[in-house]
Amino acid sequence: MNFIDAHSHVWTPDTKRYPLMAGFDPGNMKPPSFTTDELNQQAIPVGVNRVVLIQMSFYGYDNSYMLDAIARSPAMYRGVAVIDESDADIIATMIDLKRRGVRGFRITPGDRSPERWLSSDGMRAMWACGAEQGLAMCCLMGPDGLPALDRMCESNRDTLVVIDHMCRIGTTGRIEPDDVNTLCNMAKHKRLTVKVSAFYALGQKQPPYSDLVPLVKRLYEAFGPERLMWASDSPFQVVGGHTYKASIDLIQSKLDFLKSGDIDWLLSKTAEAVFFA
């Protein structure tokens, strides 16, 4: 079967056509180039034929490069955009981006308190629009943001929610049991899914990433395969001794607890249901 990479960033060194947000310069682009062509060189040889493109931070709210990539290959790509939650026309913005292939919006605590990162009027409008339009709230966060997310999910039960990179558990090098338990408890929210991704940044941070297997197993037991999706988080997964193939091999070869058909969910069907339906 063909697979879906549920999370990859792309960018271009052409900063004249696609300018960087104020405060960023080409030195922030590491690697200096990761275009869709360069992504495809990594993805296609291992069986990936569809990708969810995630807006890169140094473009800010200008989603142009991602949107142009989707327009060139609408069957292959969907997008997760970044928008300004204080936008007075935020609902119209979301609906317009949906028309252009966006299926989710990246939200993150940033410099806000983890207790209040979802409390603005704009954020509440985003969640309500997400429920009406089938658009996911894609959360880049650590475990300290989960209590606020729990409350938001409780009051927005129809909104699709995706937690990126297993809630970044293990970025310190240690998988904290309390963090794992808190994340697994989020399985009570039936519209919430988790990306099994960014292996290069978690735990021992070394291929073949076998130390992450117990964490993935706990998530599998809590959420089931239908609410887990693999993603690479390229290009960061393809530098510094890490490879795209090693990331996908963890799912295909190292998870001996998976049952027949489960790999199809992790490598394709879950992401298809959330982003390509």
pLDDT digits (tens, 9 = 90+) for 239-277: 999 999 999 999 999 999 999 999 999 999 999 999 999
**Mean pLDDT for the chain overall:** 97
Which among 171, 127, 125, 164 is positioned nearest to 146, based on CA atoms? 164
- Domain extent, residue 32, equals 3-276
The tokens of 27 are what? 């030195």
The residue-averaged pLDDT of 62-82 equals 98
Which among 34, 55, 31 is positioned nearest to 43, based on CA atoms? 34
Domains held by the chain: number: 1
Q: Is the pLDDT of residue 1 over 70?
A: no
Q: How many CB atoms lie within 10 A of CB 190?
A: 10
pTM of the model: 0.97
In this predicted structure, what is the pLDDT of residue 111? 86
**CA 69 to mean position of chain CA atoms:** 17
Q: pLDDT over 90 for what percent of the chain? A: 97
Q: What is the CATH number of the domain that holds 101?
A: 3.20.20.140
Buried b or exposed e, range 76-109, using 16+ CB within 10 angstroms: bbbbbbbbebeeeebeebbeebbeebbbbbbbbb
Query: Sheet holding 192-196: strands in order across?
Result: 3-8, 48-54, 77-81, 102-107, 136-139, 161-163, 192-196, 228-230
Q: pLDDT over 70 for what percent of the chain? A: 100
In this predicted structure, what is the pLDDT of residue 3? 98
Render pLDDT for 4-18 as a digit per residue (tens, 0 to 9). 999 999 999 999 999
In this predicted structure, what is the pLDDT of residue 129? 98
In this predicted structure, what is the pLDDT of residue 141? 97
